[in-house]
A and B are shown apart, each in its own frame.
Chain A
Amino acid sequence: MSEISGGYKRETVLYTLPSIIMVVLTIYIPFVLSGYYSLTEWNGIAKTPEFIGFSNFKQIFTGGSSFMKALIFTGKYTALSMILVNIFALILAVALVKKLKSVNILRAVFFIPYIMSMTIVGFIWQFVFSQGFEDLFAITGMGFLNLSWLGDIHLVFYSVVFVGVWQSIGFYIVLYIAGLQSIPSDILEAAVVDGAGPLRSFFSITLPMLIPSLTTCVLMSMINSLKVFDIILALTKGGPAGVTYSVTLDIYREAFQNNNYGLGAAKSLVFFVIILLLTQIVLKAFKKRDVEI
């Protein structure tokens, strides 16, 4: 055994090293460098960044910074998207587990936007909001079609949330369907025998048994909404008047358009901490619920 153990060890390292090298090169080194640059002022051109301590972080948290505005927008966007996506996905999943003739086609239809590029989804809706609604209003006369969904600084928030939900809901429907199908049918039948109505058995049996799916969906919808970028860039470019700038869009603009690499790096680290904290909070919250039930 001992004469092959040296070769064994060498093999173990040899076959795992490529993965480690790639991860270190593309993730760890840039991440650590981000930490360094966040303490500097650097325009990306100068040879050496100037060390300025925590000034970048101070600038982020002092009033009226673009980051705080973007953070508030992203927070509101995430909260509303999470709620809408999960409620509608769950309702549609409950409808689409029923034995219907067209069920496979219907499921496919709801999944299609999810496989499309988010940039294209943003453009499609830009077209629908700006051109399609006008002509639909001319035919149907429905008032909501005549509003400026991308031009009004209040309405545009709902347009952006709506498009995000539209794009991603198919994915969550599929996850909830998988969860619903894993619930043993004899439990539900027993509830019906005991006289529970459909609503009662949904809230007392189906929903508690869906907690694992619910945790996954809430967590994924939260993280994906916090990172929203492509859809907004294609749909509004952050406008009108900068009210739809998300955090990721703000980081991108700070670094690559304003050439404040140091400040951009500081923002990206704050963003990292926020995502990490929120993820832990959601996981804790659901763990507790799991025990209670």
Chain B
Amino acid sequence: MTRAAKRKIGIIVFEIILILIAAVYIYPVFLMFMNSLKPFGEVVSDVIALPREPSFQNYADVIEKMNYPRLFFNNIVITVIGLIGIVFLSSLGAYMLDRRNTRYTRFAYSLIIIPMLIPFQTFMITLLKVMNVVHLSGSTWGLGIQYWGFGIPMATFIFFNFMKTIPKEIDESARIDGASTMRTFTGVIFPMLKTVTTTVVVLDVMWIWNDFLLPLLMVNSRPITKTLVLSAYTFVGQFNTQWHYAMTAMVLVVLPSIIVFILLQRYIVEGAVAGAVKG
């Protein structure tokens, strides 16, 4: 056998081994999907077997039991409110902090980014108290606004570092044309931040959509304000002997994330990398 042929076979064997590893790795997720399509009896008698007659009956039941549309809507409200505030306030703030180098801006920059070092768990107890006082607890919109505070430090840091790469001449020419600061920012600067905005959006959506501890503290007391993950947590707790329902609820929670990931894979992976390297 020639050396080239040997090499080729080696690569094929290597690839097959990798595919096998990946299959074993993702098998639990597959198992969850399979069992969500089985009736109760089949889940109990054999977890491994494929469903004899795949049925979406569990989905119809669980969507109703969980009040899924409401939860989905809550997640959208929280994520969208959080995202818009974080992206707008951080990019605008970073623009000011970068372009106007004064004692005030240097102080403000430190004040805004230092909280990146403070883990959420070290102040969550008193956070609940403060949020009760300002009436931001107990509602989905209030929770969305809270995410501004937690998301702004990292987002400002990322925007600030990128802002330096945009030449100041661009602002000046806009100013000569008579544009106000806000006009210059929204019309000229913000559109140039596309790549870095993608990074911030990816990181924050993944975080807010799947967050557990903050919603548990803030919106867990009433069924109508719960998030998908929170509700799945209670639901699986209640139905933990009825695995067919538990599995279905779990699929319903992760399915939106997986669909979005498949559609936007490249942006999500690049955003996650960029966020980690900059953060």
CB-CB contacts below 8 Å: B3-28 with A: 11, 14-15, 18-19, 22, 25-26, 28
The answer on a CB contact under 8 Å between B126 and A34 is: yes
The answer on a CB contact under 8 Å between A261 and B125 is: yes
Alpha-carbon separation in the docked complex, A264 to B122 (Å): 9
Which chain B residue shows the least CB distance to A255?
B125
9-residue interface stretch from B58-66, B162-170, B190-198, B267-275: B267-275
Chain B residues within 8 Å of A216, by CB: 276-277
CB-CB contacts below 8 Å: A101-121 with B: 101-102, 106-120
The answer on a CB contact under 8 Å between B28 and A20 is: no
Task: Write the nearest CB–CB distance from B90 to chain A, whole angstroms.
Answer: 7
Chain A residues within 8 Å of B26, by CB: 109, 112-113
CB-CB contacts below 8 Å: B68-116 with A: 85, 89-90, 92-93, 95-97, 100, 102, 104-105, 108, 111-112, 115
The answer on a CB contact under 8 Å between B119 and A227 is: yes
A-B contact number at CB 8 A: 246
Task: Write the nearest CB–CB distance from B242 to chain A, whole angstroms.
Answer: 12
Query: Contacts A19-B93, A31-B123, A265-B126 hold; do A120 and B272 have CB atoms under 8 A apart?
Result: no
Task: Write the nearest CB–CB distance from A77 to chain B, whole angstroms.
Answer: 15
Residue A73, interface by CB 8 Å: no
Alpha-carbon separation in the docked complex, A271 to B46 (Å): 44
The answer on a CB contact under 8 Å between A230 and B212 is: yes
The answer on a CB contact under 8 Å between A12 and B105 is: yes
Chain B residues within 8 Å of A166, by CB: 25
Interface of A is mostly: helix
The answer on a CB contact under 8 Å between A23 and B122 is: no
The answer on a CB contact under 8 Å between B18 and A106 is: yes
Q: Of residues B105, B124, B125, which shows the largest number of chain A Cβ atoms within 10 Å of its Cβ?
A: B125
Task: Write the nearest CB–CB distance from A217 to chain B, whole angstroms.
Answer: 8
Task: Write the nearest CB–CB distance from A60 to chain B, whole angstroms.
Answer: 14
Alpha-carbon separation in the docked complex, A265 to B125 (Å): 7
The answer on a CB contact under 8 Å between A112 and B29 is: yes
> Interface size bucket, B side?
35 or more
Partner among B14, B46, B229 whose Cβ is within 8 Å of the Cβ of A135? B46
Query: Contacts A25-B149, A100-B11, A110-B22 hold; do A178 and B277 have CB atoms under 8 A apart?
Result: yes
Q: Of residues B121, B124, B149, B277, which shows the largest number of chain A Cβ atoms within 10 Å of its Cβ?
A: B121
Task: Write the nearest CB–CB distance from B113 to chain A, whole angstroms.
Answer: 9
Task: Write the nearest CB–CB distance from B132 to chain A, whole angstroms.
Answer: 11
Chain B residues within 8 Å of A220, by CB: 276
Which chain B residue shows the least CB distance to A21?
B149
9-residue interface stretch from A51-59, A79-87, A123-131, A198-206: A123-131
Interface string of A134-154 (1 = CB under 8 A from B): 111001000000000000000
Residue A1, interface by CB 8 Å: no
Alpha-carbon separation in the docked complex, A38 to B226 (Å): 30
Chain B residues within 8 Å of A28, by CB: 115
Residue A67, interface by CB 8 Å: no
CB-CB contacts below 8 Å: B116-147 with A: 117-127, 129-131, 134, 145-146
Partner among B47, B93, B96, B228 whose Cβ is within 8 Å of the Cβ of A131? B47
Alpha-carbon separation in the docked complex, A103 to B32 (Å): 25
Which chain A residue shows the least CB distance to B134?
A25
The answer on a CB contact under 8 Å between A19 and B130 is: no
Alpha-carbon separation in the docked complex, A127 to B127 (Å): 34
Q: A31-B126, A265-B125 are in contact. List 15 more A-B contacts (CB 8 A).
A: A16-B92, A20-B108, A23-B111, A25-B149, A31-B122, A34-B126, A102-B15, A106-B22, A112-B26, A124-B28, A174-B273, A178-B273, A227-B119, A248-B121, A268-B123
Taking beta carbons and an 8 Å cutoff, which residues of B are in contact with A? 11, 14-15, 18-19, 22, 25-26, 28-29, 31-32, 35, 43, 46-48, 85, 89-90, 92-93, 95-97, 100, 102, 104-105, 108, 111-112, 115, 117-127, 129-131, 134, 145-146, 148-150, 152-153, 156, 181, 206, 209-210, 212-213, 217, 228-229, 232-233, 236, 243, 246-247, 250, 253-254, 257-258, 261-262, 265, 268-269, 272-273, 276-277
What are 17 residue pairs bridging A and B, where the CB atoms are less than 8 Å apart in the complex?
A: A9-B104, A20-B112, A33-B123, A37-B125, A98-B11, A114-B272, A115-B206, A119-B233, A123-B236, A124-B31, A131-B43, A248-B121, A255-B125, A268-B125, A269-B122, A271-B122, A276-B117
